[in-house]
Amino acid sequence: MAELKNRLQAVLQQIHDAETAAGRPAKSVQLLAVSKTWPAAKLRELAQAGQQHFGENYLQEALAKIEALADLTLTWHFIGPIQSNKTRDIAAHFDWVHSVDRLKIAKRFSEQRPADLPPLNICLQVNIDDEDSKSGASPEDLMQLADDVKQLANLKLRGLMVIPKATDDTAAQHDAFQRSFILYQSLQQQLPDIDTLSMGMSGDLTAAVANGSTMVRIGSALFGRRHTQASG
C-alpha cells in the first residue's frame, strides 16, 4: 500500500514541478492513472489514496474491473484501439473515450450511449508523427472530423489525444508536443468549448506539461513495469 501511495505522491509532485516550471497554474494538469494489466485491488488502493481517473486499454479486462470497483465513484477513460463490435460496451460503461479517430466510430458511440447517462466525453486521437503503425486521424483531416463529431447528440467533444513516436530524446519530445499544442489551439479557435489535450506518459510527462498538456496518462511510473499483455 505504502509504495503505491508514495508513487502517486511522486507523480503528483512531478506534475506540480512541471506546471511551476512552465509558469502554469497548479492543478491545470489532470492525472489519468493508466491501469491496464493491473488487478482491481491495485486500483482500489490508488483510489483510496485519492486517485479519481483511471484509463484502460482492453475492454474485457476493463469491464471486470469496473464491476469490481462499482462501489467507488471513479471516472473511467477508454484509451485503447476501438473495434466497431466493442462500441456498445464502451458507450455503456465508460465516461470518456480518448481514442476516437473516425466518424463511423463516433456515430456508433452517440447512437449507443444509454439515455440515462450524460454525454460521453470524447477526445480525437491524432497521429501526430504520421506513423503507419499507429491509429489516429491525420492532422489534415482533424478539423472536419471535429466539426462532424461536434454535431452528434450524445457526445461531448473535449479535445485531442496524441501518442507521439516513442523517444528518449527530449528535443524530439518537445517538437511533437509543440506541434500537438498548435493543432489543439487551432481546434479551440474553431470550437471554443474544447478543454482537453491528453498527452504525456511516464517517460515524457514533463515535456508534455511544458507544451500545454491538460491530462497526462501515466501507467508504469505509478504501478511499476507491466509484465503481461492482456487482450480483449
Ligand X SMILES: *Cc1c(COP(=O)(O)O)cnc(C)c1O
Residues that bind ligand X in the complex, under the rule CB under 6 A: 34, 36, 57, 79, 163, 201-203, 217-221
Q: Which is nearer to ligand X, 119 or 203 (CB)?
A: 203
Least separation in angstroms between residue 7's CB and ligand X is 12
Rounded-to-integer distance, Cα 222 and Cα 6, Å:
9
Closest residue to ligand X, judged by C-beta, is 219
- Minimum gap (Å) between residue 114 Cβ and ligand X: 25
| Cβ(199)–Cβ(177) below 8 Å | yes
Rounded to the nearest whole angstrom, what is the least distance from the CB of residue 116 to ligand X in the complex? 29
Identify the CA nearest to 198 among candidates 131, 55, 98.
98
DSSP state of 118: P
Of 84 and 220, nearer to ligand X (C-beta) is 220
Q: Which is nearer to ligand X, 74 or 79 (CB)?
A: 79
CB of residue 125 to ligand X, shortest distance in Å = 9
Which CB atom, from 159 or from 219, has the smaller least distance to ligand X?
Answer: 219
Report the C-alpha gap between 62 and 45 in whole angstroms. 17
Based on CB atoms, which residue is closest to ligand X, 57 or 180? 57
Q: Which is nearer to ligand X, 139 or 200 (CB)?
A: 200
Phi, psi of 180 (to 5 degrees): -65, -40
Residues paired with 137 in a beta bridge? 126
Q: Which residues contact 227 (CB under 8 A, 6 or more apart)?
A: 37
* Minimum distance from residue 86 beta carbon to ligand X (Å): 16
- Shortest Cβ distance from residue 119 to ligand X (Å)? 22
> In whole angstroms, what is the distance from residue 122 CA to residue 142 CA?
14
The type of residue at 159 is: G
Give CA–CA dist 30/110, Å, rounded.
25
> 196: helix, coil or strand?
strand
